[in-house]
Amino acid sequence: MEMAKWRSQDVKTRVYEAIERAKRTQPQLNAVVTFVDVEEQLKRLETMDSSLPLYGIPVVLKDNVNTKGVLTTASSRILSNYVPVYDAAICEKLTAAGAIIIAKASMDELGMGGTNLSAYTGPVHNPYDLTRISGGSSGGSAVLCAAGISPLTIGTDTGDSVRKPAAYNGIIGVKPTYGRISRYGIIPYASSLDHVGYFTTAVADAARALSVLAGRDDRDMTSSYEPVGDYEAALNSDLHGKRIAVIDNIPNAISEEEILENFNAVIDKLKARGAIVESVHLPDDLLSVILPTYYIIANAEATANHANLDGIRFGVREAGDSVEEVMIQSRTKGFSSHIRKRFVVGSYSLFVENQDKLFRKAQQVRRLIVNELKSVLDRYDITVAPATSTIAPHPEDSVELGLSDTYLVAENHMILGNFSGYPSISVPSGMFSNMPIGVNLMAKPFDEQTMFNIALAIEEETGWKGKTAEVEA
């Protein structure tokens, strides 16, 4: 349900009903880690202007967003006792815009994963089919939006951690330009790839949310000075003359006919609205190494970022007879085996003798990939591709097996948006086997307006605005 319909209710009614729905569906979805007390927030709201853009809107935060005085675990056992002493920048912006933060949502542990199966509180379930995954790492936030519990939920996106769960759950998932939203107070994964992103059920709400969240923050030196527009007011779905590129490596790597038929139907509708749609082909050898390049860079940066989670400076402390033993025990018990493997990969890449042949080589390959993408967006307004190669899988089918093009290219192409920092959005495009599917758009840096405009045209054609799943509690 989009924000306009939420606003038709009394503020306290809408907030408490959202909390009640979240609690009622928690046994089915397992999406909430911590509920946030809203009493003080509602009292503060009484002194605020009711015309604020998010006035009285219940919002959910991914559990790697620092909230002063509220448990923030990043879904990892090692942080299961961490209560921040300050708010993240986006918390300040949400509160100033009138939002009410109602819960902290489950995620893949420390953001490292794409299934939301690794959270220490257990897996998150897809509201369209509870036997299927939510996608990750922002799975809890995605599910709580898709189930109609909150019209705006916050996630983070390091590889496709907002945009893939958005496609799996039939909602809008936005990853804006790198630096567009401050990351101050966000527990990091990989600093050169991390973006704050978010979920909504309508493009207009997504445009409004970016105007609230974006802007320079001196506490995050990577945040941009680029002016922030009124993206919602400027929405325009007229596509005449818009140049759209289909990177054909991606649909060529998909074997699911229904996914391709849906995608081609979207393309035909864009053409009918006056868009110029053409296929382009990127070097196959570069697209096939997106994933290994990502693993090297992301895990190396994660290893550095999380060196302080040692049971001494941060994290649950395990007993030991020496400082070294305390650190070993704390990290061994505090992290799942999945995370420890990633730290091993990251550490290996950062060994002095390996940096040139692994970490720096990966950075060079990343630059080659981004240059190819830039050459496309120098000629086109936007790229479009199927968001995923299939519907949300069952847990036993989501294990990353094989090195086929379907996996390497079709399932990981959205990493292009993180390598480049370019803005990207996933939009629902239909249903297949009673599960939602979507398409993904990517635009030039800081051209979120064009991205939203074309996404709006797709939304108008598909009729998916405001749709949510019914969860039987």
Give yes or no for residue 405 having a pLDDT over 70: no
CB 414 within 8 A of CB 163: yes
Mean of pLDDT values over 121-127: 98
Query: Mind giving me the DSSP string for 39-107?
Result: HHHHHHHTTS-TTSTTTT-EEEEETTB-BTTB---TT-GGGTT---SS--HHHHHHHHTT-EEEEEE--
* pLDDT range class, residue 399, cuts 50, 70, 90: low
The residues annotated with a catalytic role in the active site are 62, 137, 161
Residues 6+ apart with CB under 8 A from 189: 110, 111, 112, 137, 156, 158, 298, 301, 302, 305
The most confident of 271-280, 389-398, 401-410, by mean pLDDT: 271-280
Q: Which tokens is 173 given?
A: 């998932």
Q: Is the pLDDT of residue 162 over 70?
A: yes
pLDDT tens sequence across 76-86: 999 999 999 99
Q: How would you classify residue 135: left for phi > 0, otherwise alpha for psi between -120 and 50, otherwise beta? A: left
pLDDT of residue 403: 52
pLDDT in tens, 41-79: 999 999 999 999 999 999 999 999 999 999 999 999 999
- Given a cut of 90, whether residue 472 has pLDDT beyond it is no
For the packed helices 139-146 and 11-29, what is the interaxial angle rounded to 10 degrees? 120
Listed in sequence order, the residues at least 6 apart from 387 whose beta carbon sits closer than 8 Å to its beta carbon are 163, 164, 166, 167, 414, 426, 437, 438, 439, 440
Q: What is the mean pLDDT of residues 310-337?
A: 92
Stated pTM of the model? 0.97
Instruction: Report pLDDT for 5.
Output: 79
Percentage above 70 pLDDT, the chain: 98
Where residue 248 falls among pLDDT bands split at 50, 70, 90? very high
4 vs 47, higher pLDDT? 47
Q: Give the model's pLDDT for residue 404.
A: 61
**Predicted local distance difference test score (pLDDT) of residue 398:** 67
Asked if residue 401 has pLDDT above 50, the reply is no
Asked which of 377-386, 399-408, 441-450, 457-466 is least confident by mean pLDDT, the reply is 399-408
- Whole-number pLDDT of residue 461: 98
- Mean pLDDT over residues 278-306, rounded? 96
